[in-house]
């Protein structure tokens, strides 16, 4: 009985292997490169900071439909986005320095 179970599992593995080999690999996204991704991220951070600044100014001017929690949330989102961007920059810089210190 044990050999029958092993043979059945092996048959399933072989069938799955054939299925995976016949399925084409997903294509890489067209037109997306590191520079575009980085620029898009930087623009997102700038927009978050601009939105927080505008909400803060509107709240300070006393516009009635702007509430303090909304301003605080926008401000925190902008702060977190900026801090994440700084951390990514630090990691990229550390990686660059490590590559430059490699002996060839």
Per-residue pLDDT tens over the stretch 1-20: 567 777 777 777 777 767 66
pLDDT of residue 37: 85
Which residues span the domain enclosing 38? Answer: 32-100
More confident residue, 35 or 24: 35
Q: What is the pLDDT of residues 44-91, one digit of tens each?
A: 999 999 999 999 999 999 988 889 999 999 999 999 999 999 999 999
Let me know if residue 3 belongs to a domain.
no
Q: Do residues 77 and 52 lie in contact, with contact meaning Cβ atoms separated by under 8 Å?
A: yes
On whether residue 93 sits in a domain, the answer given is yes
Whether residue 87 is contained in a domain is answered as yes
**Full-prediction pTM beyond 0.75?**
no
Q: Which contacts (CB < 8 Å, 24+ apart) does range 16-23 have?
A: none
């Amino acid at each position: 009985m044990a050999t029958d179970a092993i043979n059945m599992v092996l048959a399933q593995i072989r069938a799955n292997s054939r299925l995976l080999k016949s399925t084409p690999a997903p294509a890489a996204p067209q037109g997306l490169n590191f520079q575009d991704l980085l620029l898009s991220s930087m623009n997102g951070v700038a927009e978050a900071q601009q939105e927080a600044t505008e909400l803060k100014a509107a709240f300070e001017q006393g516009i009635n439909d702007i509430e303090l929690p909304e301003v605080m949330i926008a401000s925190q989102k902008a702060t977190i986005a900026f801090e994440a961007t700084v951390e990514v920059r630090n990691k990229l810089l550390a990686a660059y320095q490590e590559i430059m210190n490699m002996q060839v």
